[in-house]
Amino acid sequence: MGVIINVVSGKGGAGKTLLTAVLAEALGRAGKRVLVADLDVFVRGLTALLFFRLDDRITMSDGPTVSDFLRNKSRSPDRNGGGIDIDEDAKAAIVRCRSFDVLPCVASVNEIFNFRDVMPDNIEEARNVLSRMLERIPGEYDYIFFDSRAGYDEFIAAAHQIGDCTLCVEESDRISRLTSDNLIAQLSRDADTPIVRVRNKVREQKENIQEKNNNINNNIIDAGAIPFDTDVMENFGGDAFWAEIDRSVYREALAKSWNMIADALSWPDKLKTGKRVNPIGLRYLERSLSMLSTIGRILFVYGILLALLGLFLTAGDNIINSLTASAGGGNTPLWGIAAGLCGLGLMAGAVMSSGKK
Ligand SMILES: Nc1ncnc2c1ncn2[C@@H]1O[C@H](COP(=O)(O)OP(=O)(O)OP(=O)(O)O)[C@@H](O)[C@H]1O
Ligand SMILES: [Mg+2]
């Protein structure tokens, strides 16, 4: 069956879906067999992110989607219809995306259903849905990721019980950390599946998050911090999404976090890191400019250098002129002023280009 990793967060928008998709692609490219299942029946963010160009139905192998498995449970006589039948020998619907497989949540991203037909009534029922779903998955996988919805419910509790690891994504703000603390405390009571905590969209320089987390449980694994990456945010779901991921600060940091998890849980598969070329040389500087896009950072840094060079040349020229004034010097240092103005122009361009998309 492979290692099952349940991706959760205390509050919405922390970055679960992005992390799931990028890790799946990284592991898939490293030759691992990876399946991602979109368990977020209402937002269905993963299905939308991966198949956003297909606004009608997704072309996939025939068979039940995650929402079909959920609706199948409500076929019992005490419910008012709504549920659907699944053939005895039907296999789960699988679609290939790049280097990994996907079990989508729905066949069409604008599908609407009755809330009562979808949500399990209790953890037991949710576990049955998940077990049935896993039994019907054709093929073998090294890793299966569940992209769960934010917060806590029966389905998340069941996925935590069934899985091999629960990966909790949080942002740095107090509310996000607090909701994470609460979720982790709850999940720790439900099962002793290892829980990993990763901090996402980090803007400050400090990478060690240990002291910031409430010490709920010593078994919580720290997977470090992933910086805020403007390019990734701006291209989320866009045409250049995967191309942007490949050269992103985000992808590199996520690979490091994965390796920390693999180390802690003795998983054999590590991701390669250190391949990314930093266009402005200093990692510290790049992180400090995370509000700008990559192009913006390059323009900004080289703009500053050019402006400083202009200043230096102009000042230098003035000093030489004043020393040689008696000897008839006094030319205006035009090239210094021009370099300074170009530098300022580049910096302005950097700020404007980053706010454009
Ligand atoms: N490190 C990051 N830097 C910049 N933007 C990020 C980062 N991680 C995620 N995002 C952005 O945050 C937004 C929410 O991400 P995502 O949909 O993955 O979150 P989620 O936790 O799955 O949300 P939901 O709770 O709705 O399912 C997206 O626009 C995504 O691009
Ligand atoms: Mg999501």
Among the bound ligands, the one closest to the CA of 225: 1
Per-residue pLDDT, 100:
97
Residue positions counted in the chain: 357
Question: pTM of whole model > 0.85?
Answer: no
Of 47, 148, 232, the residue with max ligand 1 atoms within 8 A of its CB, to mutate for a pocket test, comes to 232
Mean pLDDT of successive 10-residue stretches along the chain, which has 357 residues: 95 97 97 97 91 66 87 61 76 93 88 80 92 93 98 96 97 94 96 96 63 55 92 88 90 95 96 77 72 76 80 77 63 73 78 61
CATH superfamily to which 3-276 belongs: P-loop containing nucleotide triphosphate hydrolases (3.40.50.300)
Strand order in the sheet with 3-8: 95-97, 100-103, 34-38, 143-147, 3-8, 165-170, 195-202, 221-227
Report the alpha-carbon angle 107-109-114, nearest 5: 85
Whole-angstrom distance, CA of residue 340 vs CA of residue 332: 14
CA of 16 relative to ligand 2 center, distance in Å: 5
Per-residue pLDDT, 217:
54
| Sequential DSSP letters for 257-280 | HHHHHHHHHT-S-PPP-S----TT
Of 233, 244, 245, 293, the residue with max ligand 1 atoms within 8 A of its CB, to mutate for a pocket test, comes to 233
CA of 200 relative to ligand 1 center, distance in Å: 9
Per-residue pLDDT, 156:
97
Token digits for 184?
């982790």
Among the bound ligands, the one closest to the CA of 290: 1
Domain ranges of the chain: 3-276, 294-354
Per-residue pLDDT, 270:
96
Per-residue pLDDT, 113:
80
Residues 6+ apart with CB under 8 A from 254: 19, 22, 23, 26, 226
